[in-house]
Each structure stands twice: as C-alpha cells, then as structure tokens.
Structure 1
Amino acid sequence: MSTLQPRPYPRTKRSRSLLPRPILVLHRWLGVFVGLLMTIWCLSGFVMIYVDYPRLEPSAQVQGLAPLHLPPPSAFDAVDMAPDTPIASARVEMLAGRPVLRVVPGQSTDRAIPQMRTIPAAFDLATGKPLAAPDPQDIGRIAQDFARGHGIAGEAAAPAQTGIDQWTVQTYKRNAPLYRVDFDDDAGTEIYISGKSGEVVQETTRFQRFWGWLGAVPHWLYPTMLRQNRALWNEVVVWTSLAGCFLTVTGIWAGIARVRRKREGHIGSPYKGLWWWHHVFGLFFGLLTLTWVASGLFSMNPWGFLDSMAGLAERDRLAGAMTWRDVRQALSAMHDIPDGALRIETAPLGGRIFLLVSKRSGAAQRFDAAGQASALTERELRGALAGGPATSSLALLEDEDAYYYRHRFAAPLPVWRAVLADAETTRLYIDPTSGQILRAFDRNGRGFRWLQDGLHSLDFPVLRKRPWWDFVVLPLLAAVTLVCATGTWMAWNKVRRDLRRVWRRRIRRG
C-alpha cells in the first residue's frame, strides 16, 4: 500500500487560506511525537478495557484479616488516650495474633492540627500503649493471615524491605518502610505490608503486573520515575493532552479543507493508499478522537475548574461528633460478636454511636452503643438528614442510576439516594447498613462524571450493559487507533522528507 501523497488536484487559493503553513508544519511535527503517544494511548486502552491497574480495595483488605478475638472491656479502659479526644473513626481488628485499635483523630476547636497529629494512629489492646512497628516475624504472620483469607495456596518467602516501585507509587510515602512478601502460588502473588501500621496496602499477581505494563502504565503515563513526582507528572499529562487536542483539531480542520468534488460529481478524498485511509477515517472519527483526548485531559481536572467538595460537610453533619469516651463505652458493650467477624468499626449517625461488624462473607451488621443489633431505618436516616438542607427526595435504589454505578470501583446495592434541596442539588448515596455516605455529587461532580467517564469511557446508561458496550467501543477504538497510527506514520515520512530537503539545501550552499 503506497504511502506517497498524490496531488491529483492543484492546491487552490481557498485551501491555502484554510490551512496556514505554520499550523501545517506544527501539526506535522506534533504528529510524530504526540501522534505516537496517542497511538500508544489507544493500544493500551484495549488492555484497560479488561485489566485495570492493580489496587487493593477496602473489602479485600478486610477479607485478609484474621478472625477477630475481642478483648475484655478493661482493655479499652487501658488505652492511653484522653477521654475527650475527638475521634473521626475507630476500628478494632487483629494484627499478628493480637487485637489492635486503629483511630483517626477528629478535628477539634481547642487543639491545633499539629497537636492532633501527635495522637497515635494505633494501640496495642494487650497493653493499651501505642502500637510498636511490626518486626519481621509479625510481617510474616500478617502475610500468612492475608493468604489464608484470600485462599492463596503457595508458600510465602521471607519478607523483604522494598523501595518504591511501579505498584506502590501511590502508597509508598505514607506507608514506608514497606515490605514485600512473594508467594510461590500459580498466580505469582505479591503483597506489600506497611512497616509503619502493619496493614496490607497492595496486592498484585503476575497477570496484573504483565498487563499493567501494557495497559495502565503507558495509558496513564505512569512510569515510576515520573509518577513519584506528582506535580511533574500532572504537568506532563496535562500538556501532552493539550497537545493531543491541538493535533486533533488541526487534523480535523485540514481534513475538511482537503475534501474535493471529483470529476464524477461526488464529494470525496483526493488521496490514495494510506493517505486515503487517514483522511476518510479522520473525517468520520476525528471528533471521537478529540472527545477521548479532551476527556483524558478533564480527568486531571486542570486548573481546578471542576473542583468538588461534595460530601465533606455532609459526612460530618450526618455522622455528628464523637469522642474517645463515647467510642470506648460502645466498644466495651460489645460482649458477643457474630461468627466470622473480622473488624469492628465506628459508624456514627445523627450524633449517636453505632458499630459496624464486618464479616468474611462481605456482609456487615450494625450494633448500637449498648451492643444490641440495630438495623438502619428510613425514619432514622431522615432524622439524621434533617440537620442540614432540606431533603427533596429519599429513595432506596435497587439498581444503578446515572451517577451511582460500577466503573472501576464496586457499587453495592441497594443504596439510599438522598437529593438535597441546596444550591448544588447535591446527591448523596448512603449505605443502607451503616448509614455512611458512599458517594456524593454536587454540580461540578456531576459535570466531571459526564465530561470524564461519559466521554472517555462512553459510560452512558444506554451503553453500560455488557457485552453491548464492548460491541460498540471496540470497533470505535480500533477506528481511532487507525487514525492515530496512520497519522503518525505519515507525519514521520513528511518530517523525514523535510529534513532531507533542508540537508540538501545546506549541502548546496556549502
């Protein structure tokens, strides 16, 4: 197939005015570098449709815990923390064979933020003292408990301290020192354990690592060297995306300007071979290419034009304030816990303390401050919502809607949807077991959903069902890949020709 550009029709004055030469030259040079990057984005997009970047979701973290053995009530009295300490959340779980208390301090008007940060993040309930960093023996037992909970059959290698790598670039700094434990199972499982908290923070398999290098890493421009500098990575992604938008817009512009009326009378492309494919497919799929590049840019929320604070104030208002005294009394009242319990965590609602017991099956049960089972009721939820803006609607959803759906993260159902009568028409999606807000959308959040997920993933209600979504997206992605790949190849040929022309001129002058 020929890649030369025939000129069956002379370039007209009108075409020159539509296609300024400086823009054509810039388009050509960008086509070599940015066009190649856009082709890589398309090819890695095929992988990302089916294999995402490996991440350990909270439910998988809970599943990797050992069965909970609740300590006696006196253990909570011994915790070295002032009774009036504001608590944002607290949970009890096992760590290397002993129960531990993990807390997140709440904001306080009479304590500065630096003072709040001095509160230990975890306590050993056997002693009531702040939890010491786990030793290698503890790390090994944590790994065994995680493997048992996830059915990992292979033997674990000795824990090895590791630096930042491709799969911990997001979590390394807040969890360092980090230990990696390799298993010799068929999946080639590797887990990462924080040497600070003793928590498992990442899990990968051989399959995820292989396809991650072909999918998420090139698609997100995610090599470790670049991603560990978040500010630099952000600038690189934003400006390469902007360059991709410029390249696509000028390509559409050039493609329309080159459309000709042929001698037979019909409108068509004056090109042949690879140029014809690029021209015609660019005309039909150029706009789709632009929406994909632009929505990738929007995913970075450049310059903060889609900043959203939805859910922050609502979470605090819905939960209410609690202190260590309140939490301690509720935990001390938990004498009997359900079989298969792995974790107890606070789930305050409307200023009252409730506890949520998570089980290995994934189910959870709610208890009040007296240790009695207490299912969340609609009346109770409405009472908690009454402390803020009026609620225009409250409904229990049994199916996904336009904003609450499974994309990269789970969307448990059923879920309460509360629409507030505030200036932003804020939507809250509330867990029916715990009463905690799972997701929230204000006006900017809803705009981000359509500009990013809608345009980038074609995530529209009519297309969301699979495999129908695949039948639509795969051919479209193949067409856009063809546009980017042919454009890159032709740009490279044109640039080489330009460079040879410049070289010959220099030789003649010399």
Structure 2
Amino acid sequence: MKRYLYLWHRWLGIGLCLFMALWFFSGVVMLYVGYPKLTPREHFAHLPVLNLQDCCVDLAAALDAADPQRAPASIRLSTVAGEPRYLFSYPGRSNVAVDARTGLRVPLTGREQALAAARQYAPLAAARYQGAVQEDLWSHSRALNADRPLQRVLLADADGTLLYLSGQTGEVVRDASALERGWNFVGAWLHWLYPLRGIGMDGLWSNLVIYLSLTATIMAVLGAVIGVLRWRFNRPYRSGSRSPYRGFARWHHVGGLLFGVLAITWIFSGLMSMNPWRIFSSSAPLDTAAYQGGPLTAKAFPVSTAHALSRFADDGLVARQLEWRLIGSAGYVIGYDGGGRTRVLSMADGQVLRRLPRAVLERAAQAVLPQGQMRSEQLDGYDFYYYERAEQSMLGHLEKRLPALRVRFDDPQQTWLHLDLYTGEVSGVVDQPKRVSRWLFALLHSWDWLPLLQRRPAWDIWMIAFSVGGLILSVSGAVLGWRRLSRGKLRG
C-alpha cells in the first residue's frame, strides 16, 4: 500500500508542482495588486457635478425611450461623455442609456463617444483609441456582460491607464493602470489560469481549474501522509537525521511537514472558490424581489430631478450621480457626491435623510417572507459574516458601511439579508450554503479572520510567511519531478 502512496504522490507531483508554485507566487502578488476593476471610489471621484442646464426629460419619458415593455432593475442619472444620461439596467439584458436632455435612446458607443468619455474621466491626459473588444486580458468578468462590447482608450497619464467603456451606455466601467496590468501577468492572470481563456478553451476553463485543484489537493494529502510515515520521531536514521532524504528531497520533506497542512487548506479552499458542482448554490434560494415592493416605474417618483438636486444641495451634498430606488413600494432618490457619500430623498414627505429609518427596512424585508418569522439586528461593528476587505482584494470594492442591518429569516435555507442603512440596498444575501462557503473558501483561502485583518501587518506576515513555505514545498517538488523525468530520459 505504501508503494502506491509514493507512486501516486510522485507522478501527480511531477505534473502539478509547477502549477502549485505558480499559485503560491501569484497569490502573494494578489495580496497587494488585484485584478483590475473600477471601484466606487474611482467611479465617483471621476464624475463631474451633475449639470442640469436644459435638462432633464421626465423619468416616464426616459423609461419609455429605454424600453416601454419592461421595468428596469436599476435607474441612475450620471454624466457620460460630458452629457447627462439616464442609465438603465435590465436582468439578463444589455444596459441602456437615454439622453437626459433630448429623451432619445443613446446609440451604441463609437470611437468619438469613447474618447469623449475618456476626456471626462481624465481631462488633462491625452487619449488614444484602442478599438473595441468583447473580452480581453483585463475584462474577464461576468459583471461586464451587460456592457459588452467594450471600447478601450489608453490615457497618457502618469499611471498609463487603460480605460474600458461600455459599448451600450458609454460609461467608464473598468480602469487598469500600467502597474496593475504588469503585476497581473504574474498575479491574477496566472493564479486563475487566464492564459487558457481567449484561445478557444473558455468552455473548459472552469472545469480545468476545478479538476487541477482537486488533483493537487489529493496529491498534497498523499504527500502529508508520506511525510509523516518517513519521519523518524523516536529513532533517527544512521545519518543522524530524522529524514531519510538529502538536498532538495530533504527541503521537500521538511517543508511538507511544516507547511503541508496549510498548503492542503489553500489548495482545497481554492477549489472551493470555484463553487465546484454548485455545492454552494442553494436548492431553494429565497426570492428577495418583494423587498422592492413592485416594479420601478415613474409613478413612484413624483419629484423632478432638478428639485431632488436642489434638496440635496440644501443639505450640503453636491451630487454627481442620482439613483432611483423602491423600498417596500416607497420611492426614494439617492444622491452620491464625489467621495461616495450619500443622502436619501423620500418621495413620501420630501425629507432628506442621512440614513433610512430601521423600521422602513424591516417592513420592506418582512414582505420577502410575509408568513415567516424574521429577526433583525443592527450591526455597529464588523463580524465574521459582515466585514470589509482591502480595495484590491477580490470583493474589496464592495462597500460594507456601518451601521448596517442584518435580517434573519426562518426559511429552509436560514437566509440572512444585509441591508445598507444609507441607501436601502440589499448588500448581501447569505444563506446556509454561503455561510459554509465563508468557512471553506474565504477563511481558509485568504484568512478573512477579524483578529488578523484588523491587526495588520500581522495578516501580511502570516500570509507571506506561509506562502513562502508553500513556494519552497512546490518548487522543491518541481525540481525533484524534473530530475526524475531527466533520469527516465537518460535511461531511455
């Protein structure tokens, strides 16, 4: 039996240790340089103040121009290419823009519109048009699907920024600096095996990552078992060492004993990040549509855009973007300034609020499960299931403001909603499978554990030290595998 353990570990390792080395090295890079994305901070900072001169057509006319047959999932007013535009998103369909001055639907973004949008983003930088793409190295993201095709513009700014603009609305939807692009070649691009995408293997990519990770987990577990079996705990070998190996083999043996368990958890949790075989997808997800209380229609928002802007200005908020939102069938307009700060204008009484009353969100949440039990609690601090991450991390761009409201339901999946008191947005839906994913992926893979996250650089030291250990383990394994193959070739 032992012989088969050694053989399986050896031959799996020959094929996989190089992948593991790449994963550990690129993982360290990703601690500090994430895959390019446009964060809310960047988005709002590059928007001009809303200018409503000769503007705007009413919301009903804009909705009819966008799609008179369907209600949108979201409605925003922003400035795109120097012009105010209503921006609409629809489930499973492309985004739509309507010129807020003329009320006409905006056509697909072309070269001149893309350059105008880039000049708005960076007025002082020269811009060079780079053409349109459906998907490329820095735009592998389902979040961009409703904006494809994407227009690219390269800025001659200090950061060498490459902008991606929605082909549907003209908005800047992603920025990638030269530093991000450079480091991502040895970061996320390697870590997620993105070289395999765009070469005809996109349909196989997900399964390839899953089964490579699964095989690597098995290999690492076998190695841990062998490492313990070969270590002399009581009586050393004749050489005086407790390991029978020398050179790279000893590095591999000792490295496996020191870092093997953590290497197993990292590889396994990387497998879990892919949601293999949909094990973290709920069989009966709770439908949260009732939280909104109805479709987004103009009837719920009788206040004009100009009046809303005036009310926000009176309260000290210079708005750069407006958003129309329904919460429990009641209409609210959310104003955002250049720092992402918000105010809420209630359609019911015209009041401008810093935060929505907790009771408003609780009533809206109860509609999600009218006959069920519901408990709510206000979160004044972060905990295991509601916390923020560094901006460059995978989900670090998602704002997790405090205080927030957590609502717990007694449905079969024991679903929780996290509600943003500043905007009324459902910022997270966490059911039982997602809570399991929190343990098996987020905790084990990136050590999202508050005692570490809140005591940096303790988290950095932990992650780097054990990544280096994993790198030693995998590089030594790759060297041993290469030597084994070389010996086989020489014998042949």
CA distance in 2, matches of 1:311, 1:69: 42
Deviations 1:272-310 (A, max 9, x none): 222222112212321111111111001001111111489
Gaps of 5+ in 2: none
Structure-2 residue corresponding to 1:98: 83
* TM-aligned CA distance change 1:483 to 1:202, over 3 Å: same
CA distance in 2, matches of 1:478, 1:83: 57
Q: Does 1:168 align with 2:139?
A: yes
Match of 1:276 among 233, 240, 250: 250
CA distance in 1, matches of 2:155, 2:239: 69
Report how far residue 85 of structure 1 moved: 4.9
Alignment of 1:383-402 (within 5 A): 383-387=363-367, 388=369, 389-395=372-378, 397-402=379-384
Alignment of 1:158-237 (within 5 A): 158=129, 160-162=131-133, 164-170=135-141, 174-223=146-195, 225-226=197-198, 229-237=201-209
Gaps of 5+ in 1: 1-16, 107-112, 504-510
Question: What is the identity, as a one-letter code, of the residue corresponding to 1:484?
Answer: S
Does structure 2 conserve the Cα–Cα contact (< 8 Å) formed by 1:29 and 1:495? Answer: no
In our comparison, the structure showing a higher alpha carbon Rg is: 1
Report how far residue 38 of structure 1 moved: 0.3
Report how far residue 48 of structure 1 moved: 1.1
Structure-1 residue corresponding to 2:337: 359
3-state SS of paired residue (2:376): strand
Does structure 1 conserve the Cα–Cα contact (< 8 Å) formed by 2:57 and 2:102? Answer: no
Structure-2 residue corresponding to 1:493: 483
Structure-1 residue corresponding to 2:352: 373
Report how far residue 175 of structure 1 moved: 3.0
Does structure 2 conserve the Cα–Cα contact (< 8 Å) formed by 1:299 and 1:452? Answer: yes
Does structure 2 conserve the Cα–Cα contact (< 8 Å) formed by 1:162 and 1:178? Answer: yes
3-state SS of paired residue (1:167): coil
Match of 1:155 among 119, 126, 139: 126
3-state SS of paired residue (2:25): helix
Structure-1 residue corresponding to 2:106: 131
3-state SS of paired residue (2:18): helix
Deviations 1:35-64 (A, max 9, x none): 111011111111111111111124433333
Q: Does 1:329 align with 2:302?
A: yes
Deviations 1:139-169 (A, max 9, x none): 2221111125xxxx53223464456321123
Question: What is the identity, as a one-letter code, of the residue corresponding to 1:103?
Answer: F
CA distance in 2, matches of 1:174, 1:77: 23
Report how far residue 451 of structure 1 moved: 0.3
Does structure 2 conserve the Cα–Cα contact (< 8 Å) formed by 1:259 and 1:267? Answer: no
Does structure 1 conserve the Cα–Cα contact (< 8 Å) formed by 2:376 and 2:405? Answer: no
Report how far residue 348 of structure 1 moved: 1.3
Structure-2 residue corresponding to 1:27: 9
Structure-2 residue corresponding to 1:49: 31
Structure-2 residue corresponding to 1:471: 461
Deviations 1:213-247 (A, max 9, x none): 11111111112635875431101101111121121
CA distance in 1, matches of 2:19, 2:169: 39
3-state SS of paired residue (2:79): strand
Structure-1 residue corresponding to 2:442: 453
Q: Does 1:317 align with 2:317?
A: no
Structure-2 residue corresponding to 1:416: 405
Q: Does 1:342 align with 2:320?
A: yes
3-state SS of paired residue (1:94): strand
Match of 2:215 among 226, 237, 243: 243
Does structure 2 conserve the Cα–Cα contact (< 8 Å) formed by 1:188 and 1:205? Answer: yes
Does structure 2 conserve the Cα–Cα contact (< 8 Å) formed by 1:310 and 1:442? Answer: no
Task: Name whichever of 458-467 and 206-215 sits farther off.
Answer: 458-467
CA distance in 2, matches of 1:83, 1:369: 23
Report how far residue 326 of structure 1 moved: 2.1
What do you get for the CA RMSD once the two structures are aligned? Answer: 2.8
Does structure 2 conserve the Cα–Cα contact (< 8 Å) formed by 1:163 and 1:178? Answer: yes
Does structure 2 conserve the Cα–Cα contact (< 8 Å) formed by 1:84 and 1:323? Answer: no
CA distance in 1, matches of 2:78, 2:286: 26
CA distance in 2, matches of 1:361, 1:208: 23
3-state SS of paired residue (2:128): coil
Does structure 2 conserve the Cα–Cα contact (< 8 Å) formed by 1:136 and 1:159? Answer: no
Does structure 2 conserve the Cα–Cα contact (< 8 Å) formed by 1:311 and 1:437? Answer: no
3-state SS of paired residue (1:347): strand
CA distance in 1, matches of 2:154, 2:205: 29
Question: What is the identity, as a one-letter code, of the residue corresponding to 2:265?
Answer: T
CA distance in 1, matches of 2:337, 2:21: 45
* TM-aligned CA distance change 1:326 to 1:38, over 3 Å: same
3-state SS of paired residue (1:348): strand
CA distance in 2, matches of 1:311, 1:349: 20
Report how far residue 393 of structure 1 moved: 3.1
3-state SS of paired residue (1:356): strand
Structure-1 residue corresponding to 2:59: 76
Report how far residue 421 of structure 1 moved: 3.5
Report how far residue 265 of structure 1 moved: 12
Does structure 1 conserve the Cα–Cα contact (< 8 Å) formed by 2:415 and 2:432? Answer: yes
Match of 1:40 among 15, 18, 22: 22
3-state SS of paired residue (1:367): strand
3-state SS of paired residue (2:472): helix
Q: Figure out how many residues of one structure are paired with residues of the other and give that number.
A: 468
Report how far residue 382 of structure 1 moved: 2.4
Task: Name whichever of 470-479 and 480-489 sits farther off.
Answer: 470-479
Does structure 2 conserve the Cα–Cα contact (< 8 Å) formed by 1:85 and 1:324? Answer: no
Q: Does 1:482 align with 2:472?
A: yes
